[in-house]
Amino acid sequence: MAIYIVGSLNMDLTIRAPRIPEAGETISGEGFMTNSGGKGANQAVAAAKLGGEAYMVGCIGNAFGGELSDALREYGVHTGFVRYEEDVSSGIAVIVVSGGDNRIILDAGANARPDRALVDEALAGAKAGDFLLVQLEIPTDTVAYALQTAKKKGMTTVLNPAPAAALDAAALAACDWFTPNQTEAAFYTGIFPGDEDSIRRCAQKLTALGIRNVLVTLGTEGSVCLSEGKWYRTDAVHVEAVDTTAAGDTYVGALVTRLAEGADVERAMRFASTASALTVTRRGAQCSIPVRSEADAFARERKIDC
């Protein structure tokens, strides 16, 4: 099954620092890097590197546009639906990495430009059973339109609601899969999923909106899924984290790839945890995402059935 990713493309400007500076303070950092990123592009790259047929749908601009589209093609992503906007910069993410964690500042740039016409163009050839994957770094009305259009075509729809933003009831009801982290889940429900009881109440409140499958990622505590009335829980794969950039995007891209291959929910969740664990052991965004052979070898090494 093909995977259509409607979302953002950014150039990540990353630097390591011993700590996050205080207001008005300048400190020395090291290891400056530029990396192609953006949640949409990262998830497209994750899907492609891990074995999926990924089609990126989004916009680039007059700064870094060529580099962003070249990087996608290098990783095996189809770029025929990446549109160039000559009067605006590509999206930019400034990232400070400290102690294995990160802080990110975004300039949307061309990521404000994806519209209904681009969605219609991209999904014209999509078939029932193909997957649509969207996030929220592009206009929410475009996301809502993409979800509803894909649903009408019989596609499987996946919303990774990051960063969290208000969506109308029709858009949420068009989600077959909803994959928030804890903070995002709390934004939509008012319930922070911190323990077993609150996780269940939070997921049930989301499914009451018409969402078929709710999967909440819990960081080092793994992930929990309420799918068609059944509960699944997967532990995180523990590694020494170097850089958490793109870990969540790898999880989602890996999850959708395995679902598109016909894997059951538990195996798809375990594969996503395995791939994201490998990602955090490396610096950068798309370059840190493992290829399928690496993820499979790591799963065998850890005796993970995925």
pLDDT per residue over 121-131, tens digit each? 999 999 999 99
Identify the band that residue 91 occupies on the pLDDT scale cut at 50, 70 and 90: very high
- What tokens does 52 get? 């999926």
Is the residue at 90 inside a domain?
yes
The reply to whether 222 falls in a domain is yes
Q: At what angle do helices 292-302 and 265-279 cross, to 10 degrees?
A: 100
Structure token pair of residue 243: 């850089």
Q: Is residue 72 part of a domain?
A: yes
What is the model's pLDDT at position 10? 93
pLDDT surpasses 80 at 146: yes
Q: Which residue has the higher pLDDT, 283 or 19?
A: 19
* 8 A C-beta contact, residue 187 and residue 207: no
Residue-level pLDDT at 69: 96
Query: CA 294 to CA 250: how far, in whole Å?
Result: 13
User: What is the Cα–Cα distance from 117 to 94, expressed in whole angstroms?
Assistant: 30
> Which of the four pLDDT bands, split at 50, 70 and 90, describes residue 104?
confident
Q: Quick one: which of 31, 139, 148 has its CA closest to 95?
A: 31
The CATH number for 281's domain is 3.40.1190.20
| Cα atoms in the 13 Å half-sphere on the side-chain side of 165 | 16
Q: How many CB atoms lie within 10 A of CB 130?
A: 20
Q: Is the dihedral of CA 63, 133, 161, 48 positive or negative?
A: negative
**Whether residue 263 has pLDDT greater than 80:** yes
Q: What is the mean pLDDT of residues 209-233?
A: 95
The DSSP 8-state label assigned to residue 110 in this structure reads: G
Residue 279 scores a pLDDT above 90: yes
Let me know if residue 231 belongs to a domain: yes
Give me the residues paired with residue 157 across strands: 132
Question: What per-residue confidence (pLDDT) applies to 298?
Answer: 93
What letter would DSSP give residue 53?
E
In a domain, 26, yes or no: no
Please say whether the beta carbons of 64 and 11 come within 8 A.
Answer: yes
The pLDDT tens digits of the residues spanning 45-79 come to 999 999 999 999 999 999 999 999 999 999 999 99
pLDDT greater than 90 at residue 201: yes
59 closest CA partner among 128, 7, 125:
7
Cβ(132)–Cβ(6) below 8 Å: yes
Tell me, rounded to whole angstroms, the distance of Cα 27 from its chain centroid: 31
Quick one: tokens of 84?
């160039």
Q: Are strands 213-217 and 223-227 parallel, antiparallel or unpaired?
A: antiparallel
Instruction: Please enumerate in sequence order all residues whose Cβ is within 8 A of that of 139, keeping only pairs 6 or more positions apart, or say none.
Output: 112, 114, 115
Choose among 45, 56, 114, 57: nearest CA to 85: 114
Comparing 94-108, 193-207, 243-257, the range with the smallest average pLDDT is 94-108
252, part of any domain:
yes
Q: Is residue 73 included in any domain, yes or no?
A: yes
Does residue 105 lie within any of the structural domains?
A: yes
Residue carrying the six token digits 């964690």: 101
pLDDT exceeds cutoff 90 at 285: no
195 is catalytic: no
Measured between its terminal Cα atoms, the distance across the chain in Å is 19
Give the span between the Cα atoms of 33 and 26, in whole angstroms.
19
- DSSP annotation of 154: T
Range 209-214 average pLDDT: 96
Domains: count for the chain: 1
What is the residue-averaged pLDDT of the chain? 95
Q: Which entry of 12, 243, 249, 296 is annotated as an active-site residue?
A: 249
Residue 9, pLDDT above cutoff 90: yes
pLDDT at site 302: 92
Spatial separation of the C-alpha atoms in residues 207 and 230, rounded to whole Å: 12
Containing domain of residue 150, as a range?
2-21+31-302
Name the residue with higher pLDDT: 220 or 211. Answer: 211
Note the pLDDT of residue 33: 85
Residue 284's pLDDT is: 78
Nearest C-alpha neighbor of 75 from the set 45, 50, 100: 45
